[in-house]
Chain A
Amino acid sequence: MIWRTLKHNLQRVVIEPNSGRALCSERDPLREAEKWVEHCGKLDVFDEAWIVGVGAAYHIEALKRHYPHLKLTCMTHFPLEKLQVKEELGRFIQLNEVVTQSIFFDDTGFVKGPILLFRPAAHQFDLEFAEELRARLKNGFVNQAAQLGFTQIAERVANGVLQTAIVNIHELKKVCRPNTKEDKLVYALNELVK
């Protein structure tokens, strides 16, 4: 794992010195963060969100502002203390107990759990990390599908790419054996999207 030092440029934007690449919008990082939160859709109903990529943390700050109840876990290849972000952002992150961590969750964990959000303008590390996540996501999905009784779907995804894991409730209805527990669950859920 490689650690990189980051610094501010003249416009107080967090940049990487080696590549000179900005970690957020150079013109208006706050607006960029706001637009990203808007793009995430309504998150009120979720208790927890995992975010891939810390960047300059403007988007984390914006997310927390809109959804103060949301427990955030930010995932990145480098720990936050290595990020020389603006002091106030650092304080904000500490105060709001935003957790940063490297990859250590198990495969099934996040299929069951929180909503997963990707930071825009992803850093190279984030992209690599996202790739890694996709592989884990696929494994997690296959395990969970098998555990819930959707063996047909589990096999299909195991032998295919991650995109094959995108199933909706109607597809689940088709593969359920009648009068099984999964059949009852799927039909009850179907009533919620009618």
Chain B
Amino acid sequence: MKILCVSLLRVGDFFQVAPSFVHRAKTGESIHVLVNSQYRFLSTMYPQLQFHWFPRELLQSILVRQDCSTLSAVQILADFADLLGRQNFDRIENWTNNYLSARLLDLFDADEKRGVFFENGKVSNQTDEVNYFNEIWTRDEKPSKILVDALHESLNVDWPALPFEENRNMNKMAPIYLQVTTSDDKKNWPLVGWLKLFQMLSNVAPTKIICAPFEVPLLVRSGFFREQDLLVCQFEQARESLREAKLLISGDTSMLHLAAETLTPSIGIFLGPANPYKTAPRLAGAKIFWGKTSCAPCSPRRDCERVSHVCAEQIDVISVYEAAMSKLEMAHVAKVKSTEPKYVIYEVIESFDGSARVVPVTPQTSTISKLNEKRRGNT
């Protein structure tokens, strides 16, 4: 069966669904993916998939520039639709669920279309599953399923079994990676916190800041880190490095989802608009810190309206360090005991139907972790 999966969001969103695409490709389906053309590097990362590049930036550029003809954009999109049409897909699945992807599905022909799409100018395929995803899941702050599983359900596609973190603590030289910046300032934990954590973790294991080349000036010139503290790489190399890592600590970034793909033990620090109930990594055992504030999760489109970055202030370095120590199965006596926690730690566990479920755990009694441990032991 020849299937086109339309995934036109950001690269982090693609990393969330990529394991499912690869899983299906391995089971014999011919999986084609429509992705924004700025992510061409994905084709070397996922040779099992056949990529088609949507010229989003080019079209947007033509549409907003005064020195370009709008007709050029129409022509380019028409040519692109013709080119895809010649592929004769059996099925097209909308993994993006926005107006753009729904409109694009109206341009492409296939025997079957799944997910929301327009048909002759009107929204079509409003099944219960699709309606639930678009009307309830997207508005619910604490949905029972994370994005990936909710998408699978709305598209009526089988999802691969929930993977478990690999225990890599036996390898003493395996590094710990910290991904310290995100694409949104509101999601960033302060660099001073990261620096402190980096220094503490460096005493117990080789620790590096994993970052993209464009992040180097911010990290080095700001004086927080030295060049030798960094592992500067693109996504492909990052994935290889994560395969060897014993732990990743990161904000809500694409790296966290890449770590889920490589089964790397992970701790997420979710701030601002990041919501663990929606975008937690699909990896049993992954832990997430979420600051307890009335405004969280905030809107990704608006600036923080608080006097200070309150959600970031709720999460202290000692607590994250202790969580890391627990993951590394190392005894640790904190010199400074944290007071009443102002954050909640969440853990990803396997639900009764095999999907990922995000549940709160207290730092002191991590019964869920034990359940995960037991489950991991059985598998």
Which segment of B56-64, B169-177, B315-323 sits at the interface?
Answer: B56-64
Contact B75 A112 (CB under 8 A): yes
14 A-B pairs (CB sep. < 8 Å): A41-B67, A111-B71, A112-B72, A113-B72, A115-B65, A144-B75, A148-B75, A172-B70, A181-B78, A181-B107, A185-B107, A187-B103, A191-B98, A193-B63
The 3 A-B pairs at the shortest CB distance, nearest first, are namely: A191-B100, A188-B103, A45-B58
Q: Is A121 an interface residue (CB 8 A)?
A: no
Decide: B121 and A187 in contact? CB cutoff 8 A.
yes
Q: Say yes or no: is A186 at the interface (Cβ < 8 Å to chain B).
A: yes
The total of chain B residues at the interface (CB under 8 A) is 33
Chain B neighbourhood of A44, CB < 8 A:
57
Q: List residues of chain A with CB within 8 A of the CB of B67.
A: 41, 115-117
Interface residues on A, range: 35 or more
| B60:A192 contact, CB within 8 angstroms | yes
Q: What is the CA–CA distance of A172 and B104 in the complex, to the nearest angstrom? A: 17
Contact between chains at B64 and A188 (CB < 8 Å): no
> B75 contacts which chain A residues (CB < 8 A)?
111-112, 144, 148
Cα–Cα distance between A141 and B72 once the two chains are bound (Å): 9
Q: Which residue of A lies closest to B100 (CB)?
A: A191
Chain A residues engaging chain B, CB cutoff 8 angstroms: 41-42, 44-46, 111-113, 115-117, 141, 144-145, 148, 150, 165-169, 172, 178-179, 181-194
Q: What CA separation (Å) do A194 and B64 show in the bound complex?
A: 11
CB within 8 Å of A: which B18-56 residues: 55-56
CA gap between A183 and B59 in the complex, in Å? 17
Q: With an 8 A cutoff between CB atoms, is B77 at the interface?
A: yes
Inter-subunit contact B61/A46 (CB<8 Å)? yes
A167 contact set on B, CB distance < 8 A: 70-71
Residues of A within 8 A of B216 (CB): none
* Known A117-B67, A179-B121; further 15 A-B contacts with Cβ < 8 A: A111-B72, A113-B72, A145-B71, A148-B75, A150-B71, A169-B73, A181-B78, A185-B81, A187-B118, A187-B121, A188-B106, A189-B63, A191-B99, A191-B100, A193-B60
Q: Is the CB of B106 within 8 A of A45?
A: no
Question: How far, in whole Å, are A172 and B74 apart by their CA atoms in the complex?
Answer: 10
Please indicate the chain A residues that have their CB under 8 angstroms from the CB of B65 in the complex: 41, 115
Least Cβ distance of B150 to chain A in Å? 22
Q: Judge whether B58 and A46 touch: CB under 8 Å.
A: yes
